[in-house]
A and B are shown apart, each in its own frame.
Chain A
Amino acid sequence: GEDVEQSLFLSVREGDSSVINCTYTDSSSTYLYWYKQEPGAGLQLLTYIFSNMDMKQDQRLTVLLNKKDKHLSLRIADTQTGDSAIYFCAVRSGGYQKVTFGTGTKLQVIP
């Protein structure tokens, strides 16, 4: 089955850019997602990218996809303290019901 890997922790200073990375194994993956989870809350979809795209930008968020290396990244520009959360990469493959989540990266923003 699909494996989705993320580093567990990232710390950045307020105002800097954050880059959260994700790798996956299934080359037939179709949709790739980034979710945000704030403390004590459920997951909220931030953005997603189709597998036939290389990049997607949405305000402060930039998603980059390298299909050859099966690598997905989420860049947050001008990181704010309100961006502190756990960020999950998720990948859809093998049918629309099958979504595999990564372990989540906890982003700590230092004022």
Chain B
Amino acid sequence: NAGVTQTPKFQVLKTGQSMTLQCAQDMNHNSMYWYRQDPGMGLRLIYYSASEGTTDKGEVPNGYNVSRLNKREFSLRLESAAPSQTSVYFCASRPLTDEQYFGPGTRLTVT
């Protein structure tokens, strides 16, 4: 099993550009999550998907959209990137009764 994979690993965007961060898991987990990690602030939940076909806002959803394409894939889209979205983005997945498994992260810089 590859676990949770994320692409790309690194990305630099200019303000106003758009991009999609991809996440996939091969563990047949129901729930998937997107977090951002900023220095001194821990992890903050952006969006989550409790099951295929559903998505819900987390703590900091503004400026982001998500798609739960199927059970395996959960993507995060930045429509118009801003410097405040410079961060490390983590995807995680979780089965019904177990804890979260994290991907390796995407380091995004918006200039």
Residues of A at the B interface (CB closer than 8 Å) are 4, 8, 31, 33, 35, 40-45, 48, 88, 97, 99, 101-104
Contacts and interface: CB of A to CB of B under 8 A. Distances in A.
Which secondary structure dominates where chain A touches chain B?
strand
Contacts of B43: 43, 88, 101
Contacts of A48: 99
Nearest to B35: A101
Given A97-B31, A99-B100, A42 B50 contact: no
Given A101-B43, A103-B40, A103-B42, A45 B100 contact: yes
Interface in B1-60: 4, 31, 35, 40-45, 48, 50, 56
Contacts of A44: 102
Interface string B79-111: 000000000001010000001111111000000
